[in-house]
């Protein structure tokens, strides 16, 4: 398995590798990044991982992520590893962590929340990292990150 | 303290300070003077009781009020945004006290105006001054908030009052009995908060036989509309009606509280007992709100 992974990573000349994505979340990451049919991407699903048991891995050629995209991925795939490849070399590597305060990115599911009725930037606070529980800074309702819509 | 938006914002120290000021105002030891100060009472959703309580609190301190009740004849009907309404009113007044059905509206208001904002209820979210007056009433009758045994009965699922109260009392190591029909039990997120603070609670489905060891029983109304089948309501409601006959073995310091209005969940034969405390509780609301407004306006 390590050998296969090595080949995949080495095969990219320029672009981004997102590793250690929670198993089953890889397709969601593809949707969020709005990857097009013409983009060269490779997705591995349910690969064996010593770190998290099972994982997805996504490799995108010729694409670096914006700050907002990194924040969104940190939300849906916390603990993923982001690697930037330039000319076959790893130039940057970072472990993603769920942000403590999440501004703008999440739509509050509560229809009675002021953020859905006025033009306001939404704000959520991470209340429990382990379960991905967040609380709306306005209506104070709690949700799981997996259950909320993310603005793309 | 700049605003009063949510009980979540208050520390134990803040609560105790507010209780202390309320007690001093009640005793006449402190007489805040709001002469020349004006409070805007913006009740986008009408509520006679809470509005009168705030209005009374301001006027008892020689302040004046401007009142909006409902949105029928307001600019919001003409399409003005909530933010514009708030910012305009903030030009006239020294403090905004507001109730809306929109959850989070008071928090938002506090972010856009530069005068203090008091949340007098935002939908199903928070009604912090109710929780504060409840705490003050408990403090007054028990002499402490620490280590009490408190029963919360009725609709524990939808009642924001019992949610705020349970969260506030959890700062003081209270033990709870939650007495409700199974489908109106305390929500999981509140129970999670209590468990995180190592607060003990039990869930029961009948008032009778479960109140003898309590210091406080806080009763709330169960609305008939919550039941899909009216027959279920008729069968169950008896378990959540407090009667004088149930009070034979309660503790001498025991008190019955209710946020009012009451329908039939506390039998009127309880009113004449020394345990009934729901009307003085309403009066305590004025002292608590006086204390809060005086603190926010820097008058104490």
Domain ranges of chain B: 7-126+284-296, 128-282
How sure is the predictor about B46, in pLDDT bands with cuts at 50, 70 and 90? confident
Which two structure tokens, joined as six digits, stand for B163? 């949610």
pLDDT at residue B73 in the model: 59
Q: What is the mean pLDDT of each run of 10 residues along chain A (152 residues)?
A: 50 90 91 83 90 91 89 89 92 92 93 94 93 94 90 74
Partners of A140 on chain B (C-beta within 8 Å) are 6, 8, 103-104, 125-126
pLDDT of B21 over the 60 cut: yes
Mark which residues 97-116 of A lie under 8 Å from B by CB. 110, 112-115
**Residue A100: CB partners within 8 Å, gap ≥ 6?**
A125, A126
Tell me whether the CATH fold assigned to B7-126+284-296 matches the one assigned to B128-282. yes
How sure is the predictor about B75, in pLDDT bands with cuts at 50, 70 and 90? low
Four-way CATH pick for B128-282: 3.40.50.720, 3.40.50.2000, 3.40.50.300, 3.40.50.1370:
3.40.50.1370
Three-state DSSP class for A63? Answer: coil
Task: Give the model confidence (pLDDT) of B130-177 as tens digits.
Answer: 999 999 999 999 999 999 999 999 999 888 889 989 999 999 999 999
How sure is the predictor about B77, in pLDDT bands with cuts at 50, 70 and 90? low
Q: What is the mean pLDDT of chain B?
A: 94
The fold of the B7-126+284-296 domain, in CATH, is Rossmann fold (3.40.50)
DSSP per-residue letters across A54-112:
EEEEEEEET----HHHHHHHHHHSTT-EEEEEETTEEEEEEE----SEEESSEE-S-TT
pTM of the model: 0.88
How sure is the predictor about B254, in pLDDT bands with cuts at 50, 70 and 90? very high
A110 or B189, which is more confident: A110
How sure is the predictor about B128, in pLDDT bands with cuts at 50, 70 and 90? very high
pLDDT at residue B202 in the model: 98
Mean pLDDT throughout B105-123? 97
Cβ <8 Å between A112 and B123: yes
Task: Give the model confidence (pLDDT) of B202-234 as tens digits.
Answer: 999 999 999 999 999 999 998 877 788 888 888
Percent of chain B exceeding pLDDT 90 equals 80
- Distance CA(B230)–CA(B225), nearest Å, equals 8
- Which one-letter DSSP state was computed for residue B187? P
| Interface test with chain B among A111, A119, A139, by most B beta carbons within 10 Å | A139
Q: What ipTM was reported for this prediction? A: 0.89
B157 given a catalytic annotation:
no
Closest chain A C-alpha to B267 CA, distance in angstroms: 35
Which two structure tokens, joined as six digits, stand for A74? 């940190």
Q: Please, are residues A129 and A98 in contact by the beta-carbon 8 Å criterion?
A: yes
pLDDT at residue A9 in the model: 47
Which entry of B127, B160, B177, B255 is annotated as an active-site residue? B127
Residues shown for chain A: 152
- Which one-letter DSSP state was computed for residue A50? T
Mean pLDDT throughout B36-48? 93
Reference B6, options B135, B145, B106; nearest CA is B106
């Amino acid at each position: 398995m390590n050998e296969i992974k090595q080949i995949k990573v080495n095969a990219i000349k320029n672009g981004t590798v997102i590793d250690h994505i929670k198993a089953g979340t890889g397709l969601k990451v593809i949707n969020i990044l709005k990857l097009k049919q013409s983009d060269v991407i490779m997705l591995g699903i349910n690969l064996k991982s010593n770190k998290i048991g099972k994982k997805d891995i996504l490799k995108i050629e010729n694409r670096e992520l914006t700050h907002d995209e990194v924040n969104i991925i940190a939300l849906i795939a916390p603990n993923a590893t982001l690697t930037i490849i330039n000319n076959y070399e790893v130039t940057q590597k970072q472990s993603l962590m769920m942000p403590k305060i999440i501004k703008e990115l999440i739509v509050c599911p509560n229809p009675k929340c002021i953020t859905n009725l006025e033009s306001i930037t939404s704000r959520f606070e991470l209340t429990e990292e382990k379960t991905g529980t967040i609380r709306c800074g306005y209506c104070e309702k709690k949700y799981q990150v997996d259950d909320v819509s993310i603005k793309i | 303290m700049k605003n009063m938006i949510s009980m979540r914002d208050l520390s134990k120290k803040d609560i105790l300070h507010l209780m202390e000021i309320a007690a001093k105002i009640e005793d006449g030891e402190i007489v805040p003077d709001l002469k020349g100060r004006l409070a805007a009472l913006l009740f986008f959703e009408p509520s006679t009781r809470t509005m009168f309580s705030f209005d009374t609190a301001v006027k008892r301190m020689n302040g004046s009020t401007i009142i909006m009740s409902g949105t029928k004849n307001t600019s919001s009907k003409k399409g003005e945004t909530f933010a514009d309404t708030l910012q305009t009113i903030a030009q006239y007044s020294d403090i905004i006290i507001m109730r809306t059905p929109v959850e989070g509206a008071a928090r938002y208001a506090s972010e856009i105006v530069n005068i203090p904002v008091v949340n007098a209820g935002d939908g199903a979210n928070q009604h912090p001054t109710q929780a504060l007056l409840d705490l003050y009433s408990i403090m007054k009758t028990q002499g402490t908030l620490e280590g009490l045994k408190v029963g919360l009965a009725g609709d524990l699922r939808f009642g924001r009052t019992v949610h705020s109260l349970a969260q506030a009392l959890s700062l003081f190591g209270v033990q709870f009995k939650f007495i409700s029909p199974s489908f109106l039990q305390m929500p999981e997120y509140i129970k999670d908060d209590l468990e995180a603070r190592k607060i003990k609670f039990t869930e029961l489905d009948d008032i009778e036989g479960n109140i003898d060891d309590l210091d406080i029983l806080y009763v709330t109304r169960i609305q008939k509309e919550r039941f899909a089948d009216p027959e279920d309501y008729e069968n169950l409601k008896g378990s959540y009606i407090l009667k004088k006959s149930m009070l034979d073995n309660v503790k001498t310091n025991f008190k019955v509280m209710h946020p009012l209005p009451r329908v039939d969940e506390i039998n009127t034969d309880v009113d004449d007992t020394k345990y009934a405390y729901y009307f003085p509780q309403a009066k305590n609301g004025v002292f608590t709100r006086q204390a809060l407004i005086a603190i926010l306006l820097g008058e104490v």
